[in-house]
Amino acid sequence: DAGHYDNGGYEHYLLKEISEQPDTVARTLRGRIDDRFHIAHLGGLNMDARETRSFRRVKIIGCGSAYYSGQIGAQLIEELARIPADAEPASEFRYRSPVVEPDTLYVAISQSGETYDTLAAVQELKRKGGRVLGIVNTVGSAIARETDGGIYLHAGPEVSVASTKAFTSTAVAFALLALHLGRVRDLSPADGRRICDGLRRLPEQIKEILTLEDRIRELAKKYADAPGMMFVGRVRGYPVAREGAQKLKEISYVHAEAYPASELKHGPLALISPELPTVAVVPDDELLDKNLTTLGEIRARHGRILMVGHRTSEAADDCIVVPRNEVELDPILLTIPLQLFAYHAAVALGRDVDRPRNLAKSVTVE
């Protein structure tokens, strides 16, 4: 309940929680990076090296933004540990009678630790003998108690209904888990070091992104009068786009859709017009050229484009440039401007930012 926590002088808890992220990310990392061997220390997993090496698949479950952060997590695990991994909404997972395999590691994500669908999915997994870890913020919560071990976020209480700091901390926790799983398999010490160094740079880089707030406020005002927005990204950028659309919907009530940029021409391109601006998540990765081509296709249909990435481009009307990290970790940083964008759009539209209509902070019923 918001009444128990100080808003720290911020106008809204949401802005406080967005602004806290240099600290909350540092807390998720604290004591967990080993600079000698370039590994992660995750004592809470309760798993020895033999068991850690035994998994052939990782299945991640969560609801809403927790699920989107799980998509980032699945990509991190595939990239760094080379274990097939995917994320699914917990509510869908538990009702489709999933095959529970002994060599699959299940990971349940929840900020509150009390989301009913996620808890019920964990219970179903355990009934069927699944090994389930939790990535949870709230210590001692139901999901933390029901799982066999896990990673606490240590992000502190998240009051605003829209999740922000828990989202980034979850992605950071997954980077640690992926590093851990990778280093007992094929991930080289050099790559381990690259990721450890990248993780350490995150808090300062988040601070840098937060200094862009004035400009993002202006952009939010400029785009907030649109009846709807399209969010696109590819591969690492796609879960970021989904989370950006989710934030905008939740707190500004502006309709937002997220698509893999590559899917536009298979349908949603028909929607593109000056009335439906696009937020494009375009990191400098191996898909940069393909993404810029897609922006050209949007432009050709008179769509306005706000690009979030590592450079400016003439293909977009407006650009937000964030500092670069390692490509695997870039999604964490690319999320921050989209949080600020949604926040300022909601403020510009006069919405109840911390308590959006129709939503509860934790959904403890089915």
Residues with active-site annotation: 361
By CB under 6 A, is residue 292 in contact with ligand AGP? no
Residue placing its CB nearer to ligand AGP in the complex, 192 or 244: 244
Q: Work out the end-to-end distance of the chain between its first and last CA atoms, rounded to an integer number of angstroms.
A: 21
When binding is defined by CB under 6 A, the residue of 112, 169, 294, 339 that contacts ligand AGP is 112
What backbone phi and psi angles, to 5 degrees, belong to 281? -95, 110
Which tokens sit at 179?
């590093």
How many of the other CB atoms lie within 10 Å of CB of 273? 11
For the bound state, the minimum distance from the C-beta of residue 125 to ligand AGP, rounded and expressed in Å, comes to 16
Given a contact cutoff of 8 angstroms between Cβ atoms, the answer to whether 266 and 293 are in contact is no
Contact set for ligand AGP, span 159-188 (CB under 6 A)? 161-163
Output 79 or 117, the one with its CB closest to ligand AGP.
117
Q: Please, which residue, 245 or 305, has the CB nearer to ligand AGP?
A: 245
By CB under 6 A, the count of residues binding ligand AGP is 15
Compare residues 126 and 194 and give the one whose CB is closer to ligand AGP: 126
> Least distance from C-beta 363 to ligand AGP, angstroms?
5
Q: Output the smallest distance, CB 355 to ligand AGP, in A.
A: 11
- Cβ proximity to ligand AGP: between 75 and 137 the closer is 137
Classify 89 as helix, strand or coil.
strand
Q: What are phi and psi of 321, to 5 degrees?
A: -105, 125
Burial class (CB in 10 A: 0-12, 13-18, 19+), 230: buried
DSSP 135-172: EESSTT-HHHHHSSEEEE-------SSS-SHHHHHHHH
Distance of closest approach, residue 160 Cβ to ligand AGP, in angstroms: 8
As measured in angstroms, the least distance from the Cβ of 275 to ligand AGP is 26
Residue 64 touching ligand AGP (CB under 6 A): yes
Query: How many angstroms separate the CA atoms of 226 and 277, rounded?
Result: 7
- Residue number with the shortest CB distance to ligand AGP? 64
Q: Of the candidates 24, 28, 75, 111, which one interacts with ligand AGP according to CB under 6 A?
A: 111
Measure the CA angle with vertex 148, ends 143 and 154; round to 5°.
55
Which residues lie near ligand AGP (CB under 6 A)?
63-66, 110-112, 115, 118, 161-163, 250, 362-363
